[in-house]
């Protein structure tokens, strides 16, 4: 259980570092998005959209880093889980609904990371947040 928690923390930090790299790339050159992600409609990608995407990615990265540091914080844990759900939903909708992001390597990577992260965090709900629940139930039994 403690080992799983450590793995999850490391995974969240790795994802965080990668996201910071993507953020920097969005600010450095907005063509990054049209060449890697939104290849279905590259003409719709501009510098403003790239910076907005970069800030969204940086915010998600910050939440994930905070969760890695304080993994037993239930609210932060669930918020972090939602960052992955939103990312997965975004890329799936851009791929299949709006057809702006065909399933290339650039799109598959965030889909795989988000999907894998969701699975890890759902499994982690049992191992990471359960000790708090057990403590609360033990305290209520004593009263």
Pair of tokens at residue 89: 């939903």
Q: How confident is the model at residue 131 (pLDDT cuts 50, 70, 90)?
A: low
Instruction: Give Cβ neighbours of residue 83 (< 8 Å, ≥ 6 apart).
Output: 60, 63, 64
Pair of tokens at residue 4: 């799983």
Mean pLDDT of 106-114: 95
| % of the chain surpassing 70 pLDDT | 90
Q: Rounded to whole angstroms, what are the CA distances from 118 to 71, 81, 130? A: 15, 6, 17
Q: Rounded to whole angstroms, what are the CA distances from 94 to 4, 41, 87, 99? A: 33, 10, 11, 6
Digit-coded pLDDT (tens) for 50-97: 999 999 999 999 999 999 999 999 999 999 999 999 999 999 999 999
Smallest Cα–Cα separation from 84: which of 104, 58, 64, 54?
64
Q: How confident is the model at residue 135 (pLDDT cuts 50, 70, 90)?
A: very low
Domain ranges of the chain: 2-128
- Residue 130 pLDDT > 70: no
Please tell me the predicted confidence (pLDDT) of residue 8. Answer: 95
Tell me the chain's radius of gyration from C-alpha atoms.
Answer: 18
Q: How many CB atoms lie within 10 A of CB 27?
A: 15
Mean pLDDT of 27-52: 92
pTM of the model: 0.86
Across the chain, mean pLDDT equals 90
- Find tokens 């191992």 and name the residue: 127
């Amino acid at each position: 259980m403690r080992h799983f928690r450590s793995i999850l923390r490391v995974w969240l930090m790795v994802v965080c570092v990668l996201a910071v790299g993507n953020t920097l790339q969005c600010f450095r050159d907005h063509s990054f998005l049209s060449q890697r992600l939104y290849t279905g409609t590259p003409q719709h990608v501009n510098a403003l959209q790239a910076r907005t995407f970069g800030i969204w990615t940086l915010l998600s990265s910050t939440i994930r880093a905070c969760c890695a540091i304080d993994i037993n914080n239930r609210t932060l844990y669930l918020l972090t889980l939602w960052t992955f759900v939103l990312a997965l939903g975004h890329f799936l909708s851009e791929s299949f609904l709006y057809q702006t992001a065909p399933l290339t390597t650039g799109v598959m990577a965030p889909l795989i990371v988000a999907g894998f992260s969701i699975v890890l965090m759902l499994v982690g709900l049992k191992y990471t947040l359960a000790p708090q629940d057990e403590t609360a139930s033990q305290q209520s039994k004593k009263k």
